[in-house]
Amino acid sequence: MWSGENRARYDRSRLRYPSDLTDEEWPLIGSEIPPAKRGGDTRMVDEREVVNGLMYVPSTGCQWRAIPKDLPPRSTMNYYFCRWRDDGTLDRLHHALYVRCREQVGREASPTAAIIGCQSVKGAEKLGAGSIRRALMAARRSRASCATS
């Protein structure tokens, strides 16, 4: 309910963008971000700003090239998005938040029942698991794009 306490809790007017993470939200997400790779230079980018940028794109529907200048460069954000997508960080993050939301409302962490409509079953019978697996696979990079001329 929109009580005075909840209204203040969800007020995003003091943030730079409504999609930015609050100080209460960042620890929930920051713990899921993998540390910098070993042996390389120290990480120069602020992960929180990268996440803010990645949240900005879908919330506004803007194109990557239209990202505001006060967020990290689009090449940096695209690099982290692809890396976190491919190494499973985004999936782990989604699962952790999903479990937390369910527990917050007093439910078990994972659902115990599911409802499957007849249309869902018909679609799965037609397409089969192979087509679903192909659609979810990460695209492979072409070796030709890495070649030097």
Q: What is the pLDDT of residues 122-137, one digit of tens each?
A: 655 565 555 555 555 5
Q: What is the pLDDT of residues 103-121, one digit of tens each?
A: 878 888 777 777 777 675 5
Confidence of residue 37 (pLDDT cuts 50, 70, 90): confident
pLDDT value at residue 85: 94
Q: How many angstroms separate the Cα of 65 from the Cα of each of 16, 42, 58, 60, 101? A: 19, 27, 13, 13, 33
pLDDT value at residue 149: 43
pLDDT value at residue 14: 79
Q: The pTM is what? A: 0.66
Q: Would you kindly state where each structural domain of the chain is located, as residue ranges? A: 4-146
Q: What is the pLDDT of residues 11-36, one digit of tens each?
A: 777 788 888 888 888 888 888 888 88
pLDDT at 143 > cutoff 60: no
Q: What is the pLDDT of residues 51-104, one digit of tens each?
A: 999 999 998 998 988 999 999 999 999 999 999 999 999 999 888 888 888 887
- HSE value, Cβ hemisphere, 13 Å, CA-based, for 89: 17
Buried b (16+ CB within 10 A) or exposed e, 21-60: beeeebeebeeebeeeeeeeeeeeeebbbbbbbbbbbeee
